[in-house]
Amino acid sequence: MSAERVLMTRLVKITITTLAIVLCTTAVLRAGEVNLIIYQPSNFQNGGYGLSNGSEITGLLNAAFGNNVTVVSSFNLSQTLSADAIWLDLPYSKAMSASDRAVLSQFISTGKRVMMNGERSRYWKDWNNSILSIVGGIVGPDYTPNLVLNPIILHQLTDGVDHVTGPGNAGTAQGGIQVFSDYNVITLWGQNQNVLSILDISIMFWNTDASGSRFRQNVVNWLSDPIPGAASLKITSSTYAQAALIDGTLSEQIDKVNFGPPAHNSDEWSSVQRQFDNHVASSFGCSSVPEPLNEPYISANEFIDDANEVTYDNCSSSFYKFTFEVPNCSDVLSASLNVNVDDMAVAYLNGYRISPKISADDFTSEAGRERTENGLPILSWPNLDTLNIDSDKLVKGENVLVFGVIGDAINEFGNQLEPTGVEFILDIDIKEPPCKGDLDENGKVDKGDIILLLQVLSGDRVH
């Protein structure tokens, strides 16, 4: 190989590596920006965030999360998924509702951390069973003598902790990873050990010895730490979008939506109209096309905050296309799409259909609007729908998300005269492995690579 070609190859290698380093640093880690949701059901008591006997833990949580703490009595899906961690206070003799368990389960599946407080089964068996069932556990027998629990695993939670104590009457769990002996009162759950349950609130709120205080600090530190090597991307309908008109009768429009969108580079795509969070409970009837854009064109039971409502002209059915980037030096861990459409839609990601096809019958019944197919909900007014997306459907670099949205009113000219539009948030958890930066080819990335890079960029050395 000629000297000139060797030089060019080396310079290209340097340039590509430098670009990869830059790309890897563009994703924003959650560290320093973490926010916490405190779940406090309507009749919580005995110990909890904000109560007098919870002053220590309240101060620790406020400090760790920079006062980015929100207290809720029930879970809102979009709000919950935007949080970085969840803390559960417990109610008196009451199970967590099925709807709240479903939202919490989805949050846990992202790998984010959850701290679940429980108590003895005599009064809290329903609560304990409801929260443990989310992570595959069940309630064990109560432990009545005074507690003196000793750590049995090496973990961030047990660092510097000799023991934890309590007055007894503690609940126990079956399953998970037991953290202290001799009873399974404190337990880690999940494939990523991202859920912690403690079935005796005295450990977190009443015990005052130094070792107990160290354990409480460890719990808060664990809860507020970002997932190692993880970052979060949030794509919303506020990003750049294009639309392609869908015309014809209702059956013709359904066929087009089920078939798929126009090609990515087709000249059918044009700019969209948008509004910001113009949320009202009901929509309006189109009498002509287009309608004024100060009219609401998405009707929903639960709106999505901080995401534009997007439409073609307020009344016409349309495909909506959004493009976004996943950093080249990252791996997708999980992805979840929350979307409101009016009236019905089919979603496509990088050419893959990721939601069920629709039929004319779906427009005429509540059962049609709420049906599922292979565990995936049909995208339909008026409910907020959630799709958990297989990570392999996303690619490094450019991704294309498309919604084919149609209504159910057609005029004599075949034009769509029902308010139509879409709003969504796509949350993507990614892992950022070290980027390739071994410029001196010594098998590792170290300060020698930085020195060599600076020399090459300054012209002092050719690599």
pTM of the model: 0.50
Query: Given this model, what pLDDT does residue 26 score?
Result: 33
pLDDT over 60 (residue 284) = no
pLDDT over 70 (residue 258) = yes
Q: Are 430 and 334 in contact (CB under 8 A)?
A: no
Q: What are phi and psi of 117, to 5 degrees?
A: -90, 135
Query: Given this model, what pLDDT does residue 407 score?
Result: 77
Higher pLDDT, 317 or 308: 317
Q: Are 458 and 5 in contact (CB under 8 A)?
A: no
- Residue 371 CB neighbour total at 10 angstroms: 17
pLDDT over 60 (residue 99) = yes
Q: Considering the domain delimited by 36-228, tell me its CATH architecture.
A: 3-Layer(aba) Sandwich (3.40)
Higher pLDDT, 295 or 136: 136
Q: What are phi and psi of 323, to 5 degrees?
A: -110, 145
- Mean pLDDT, the chain, as a whole number? 78
Q: How confident is the model at residue 295 (pLDDT cuts 50, 70, 90)?
A: low
Query: Given this model, what pLDDT does residue 7 score?
Result: 36
Q: Report the pLDDT averaged over residues 401-409.
A: 86
Domain boundaries, the chain: 3-27+439-458, 36-228, 232-431
Percent of residues, the chain, with pLDDT higher than 70: 73
pLDDT over 90 (residue 352) = yes
Length of the chain in terms of residues written:
463
Query: Given this model, what pLDDT does residue 207 score?
Result: 67
Burial class (CB in 10 A: 0-12, 13-18, 19+), 278: middle
pLDDT over 50 (residue 8) = no
Burial class (CB in 10 A: 0-12, 13-18, 19+), 329: buried
Of 20-29, 75-84, 358-367, 381-390, the poorest mean pLDDT is in: 20-29
Query: Given this model, what pLDDT does residue 50 score?
Result: 84
Q: Report the pLDDT averaged over residues 285-307.
A: 62
Query: Given this model, what pLDDT does residue 11 score?
Result: 38
Strand ranges across the sheet with 186-189:
69-72, 36-39, 85-88, 113-117, 195-198, 186-189, 177-178
Q: Which segments of 46-112 are extended strands (E)?
A: 69-72, 85-88
pLDDT over 50 (residue 16) = no
Contacts of 297 (CB under 8 A, 6+ apart): 275, 278, 283, 284, 291, 309, 311, 314, 315, 342, 419, 420, 421
Query: Given this model, what pLDDT does residue 349 score?
Result: 97
Q: What CATH number does domain 232-431 carry, 1.10.10, 3.30.590, 1.10.238, 2.60.120? A: 2.60.120
Query: Given this model, what pLDDT does residue 188 score?
Result: 93
Buried b (16+ CB within 10 A) or exposed e, 230-262: bbbbebbbbbebbbbbbebebeebbebbeeebb
Query: Given this model, what pLDDT does residue 10 score?
Result: 41
3-class state of residue 271 by DSSP: strand
Q: Which segments of 222-343 are extended strands (E)?
A: 230-236, 241-245, 270-271, 273-276, 308-311, 318-326, 331-342
Query: Given this model, what pLDDT does residue 28 score?
Result: 35
> What pLDDT, in 10s, does the model give residues 171-196?
888 888 889 887 889 999 886 789 99
Q: How confident is the model at residue 33 (pLDDT cuts 50, 70, 90)?
A: low
Q: How confident is the model at residue 152 (pLDDT cuts 50, 70, 90)?
A: confident
Q: How confident is the model at residue 279 (pLDDT cuts 50, 70, 90)?
A: low
> What pLDDT, in 10s, does the model give residues 201-256?
888 887 667 788 899 999 999 999 866 555 678 888 877 789 999 988 888 899 99
> What pLDDT, in 10s, does the model give residues 101-132?
888 988 887 788 999 998 877 778 888 889 99
- Per the DSSP assignment, residues forming a β-bridge with 180 are 151
Higher pLDDT, 298 or 275: 298
Q: What are phi and psi of 435, to 5 degrees?
A: -80, 155
The Cα–Cα gap between 328 and 23 comes to 7
Q: Are 416 and 288 in contact (CB under 8 A)?
A: no
Q: Which residue is it, tokens 């992202």? A: 110
Of 37-51, 56-70, 371-385, 430-444, the poorest mean pLDDT is in: 430-444
- Residue 207 CB neighbour total at 10 angstroms: 19
> What pLDDT, in 10s, does the model give residues 207-219?
667 788 899 999 9
Helix axis angle for 447-458 and 3-26, nearest 10°, is 120
